Amino acid sequence: MMSEAEVLKAIGERLKAIRIQKGYTSYEAFALDHDLGRMQYWRLEKGEANLTMKSLLKVLSIHNMTIQEFFSEGF
């Protein structure tokens, strides 16, 4: 079983991979384009933020992705 820190890191890596796949090379540009706090989003990608369901759902909505789709790969 993964620790909480490992889960947050894996989620962050997945968010980063999706952002890059969507053509955003910079987390800052992505955050600014979608009205997200730059530092908060950076911390999400680094696995350093206490991720809330609300935050995750907001980012997934931006990517037109369901929570099932998000967790279907790599978890």
d(CA 21, CA 11): 15
Report CA 55 to chain centroid distance, whole Å.
Answer: 9
Give me the CATH topology for the region 4-72: 434 Repressor (Amino-terminal Domain) (1.10.260)
Is the model more confident about 45 or about 73? 45
Given a cut of 90, whether residue 68 has pLDDT beyond it is yes
pLDDT at 73 over 90: no
Judge whether residue 40 has pLDDT over 90: yes
Each residue of 27-36: b (16+ CB within 10 Å) or e?
beebbeeeeb
Q: Are 45 and 12 in contact (CB under 8 A)?
A: yes
In this predicted structure, the answer to whether residue 74 has a pLDDT above a threshold of 90 is no
Report how far residue 35's alpha carbon sits from residue 41's, in angstroms, rounded to the nearest whole number.
10
Residue (of 18, 65, 64) closest to 44 by Cα position: 18
